[in-house]
Amino acid sequence: MSLTTSEYDSLLREYEQRQLDGEMDLRRRREEVTRDVPAIAEIEEQIVHGSVQAARLALAGNSSALDALSRTNDWLIQQKHQLLTGAGYPADYLDRRYVCPICKDTGTETVSQPDGSIVRRPCSCFRRAIIDRYYMDDGLRERLARENFTTFDLRFYSSKKIDEATGQTYREIAETALGDAKDYAARFGSEYRNLLISGYSGVGKTFLANCITGELLSRGFTVLYLSAFRLFEIFEHYRFGDRDASKQASLDFDNILDCDLLIVDDLGTEMSNSYTTSQLFVCLEERDREKKPTLITTNLTMDDLSKRYSERIASRLFQFRYIKLFADDIRIQSMI
């Protein structure tokens, strides 16, 4: 699943419209302020003239004159801010406003490379728009509205049943899991951690993953949420599909490696083979190398994972923060 040419063009037009809307909004605010405080128009004209002069002096290498002009422009900007606040406007009222201040609504950002070179790449907001459009289907959107940290109900976890391995009740284990998930979301972006949520069907694994997904999306991170079946399907098409399928899968694979958080739901339910299993290892290894977290939910135990997947994959998964949930099937409890 990837953007067709027309859909990509449609997304670009959305960004062009953002820029037009921003320019119109700035023009409206400038006209409003000019009516109320005419002196600001003259100051802004002097600032623009000074900026043009500064560019010429910089090219000529006249550093002393450039310093003097910079001080003059700084003083003019201060005067402008004083006039604005004196008239009851915020000091930054005439600044250009952007939906995304990183790319300034262009969809691309400039990044410095380790070798000193400069490259332009799609901004995180643009990548988020692609992922949001293609992987966040309506069903998932509805689930995220229902399944979040405020609706996670600990009453579904028994305070009487005990896990023999830990000696804790199911509810105590769920309370710890909920706290870990909240902590994971809170620290995301400042701390690199992978997460593995395990348990039988209906114990709330996907619900907990949805809680994290919604929290991170609200903070602007790119989250790619794929079922294990869909992930391995992309791996298959990437290697064995026809030309069009391979091209689309290549774009999907780039998103898998590049998103801020990759969520693989129900690992172990997919049909796998030696190739797709090796690609799973490549995926985990590449994301680990770039310090991009991965969250996996599975019905399998650690022993099951070791038997089903290669030793290399099992070794990688054993390094994940491990959360296991216990409960009588919550879906059945909900219906009752």
Kindly state the average pLDDT of the residues 221-229.
89
| 198/113 same-domain check | no
pLDDT given for residue 236 in this prediction: 84
CB 186 within 8 A of CB 211: no
| 81/207 same-domain check | no
Domain boundary residue, one of 94, 122, 150: 122
pLDDT given for residue 39 in this prediction: 92
Q: Is residue 130 part of a domain?
A: no
| 32/108 same-domain check | yes
| 171/98 same-domain check | no
pLDDT tens readout for residues 184-201: 999 999 999 999 999 998
How many domains would you assign to the chain?
A: 2
Alpha helices in 290-336 (DSSP H): 302-308, 311-317, 330-335
Domain that residue 147 falls in: 135-335
Q: Is residue 156 part of a domain?
A: yes
| 317/181 same-domain check | yes
pLDDT given for residue 136 in this prediction: 61
| 149/234 same-domain check | yes
| Residue 1 reports pLDDT greater than 70 | no
- The terminus-to-terminus CA distance of the chain in angstroms comes to 38
CATH of the domain at 163: 3.40.50.300
- Kindly report the average pLDDT of the chain as a whole number: 86
| 110/175 same-domain check | no
Helix (H, G, I), strand (E, B) or coil at 261: strand
pLDDT tens readout for residues 44-54: 888 888 777 77
Quickly count: other Cβ atoms within 10 Å of residue 267's Cβ.
24
| 118/232 same-domain check | no
| 165/196 same-domain check | yes
Closest CA to 203 of 329, 86, 35, 27: 329
The region of weakest confidence among 138-147, 160-169, 182-191 is 138-147
Kindly state the average pLDDT of the residues 37-50.
86
Tokens of 270: 């997919």
What predicted TM-score, i.e. pTM, was given to this entire model?
Answer: 0.69
Domain boundary residue, one of 58, 90, 122: 122
The region of weakest confidence among 87-96, 99-108, 203-212, 229-238 is 229-238
pLDDT tens readout for residues 236-289: 887 766 556 566 677 788 889 988 999 999 999 988 788 888 989 999 999 999
| 111/147 same-domain check | no
| 231/267 same-domain check | yes
Domain boundary residue, one of 61, 89, 122: 122
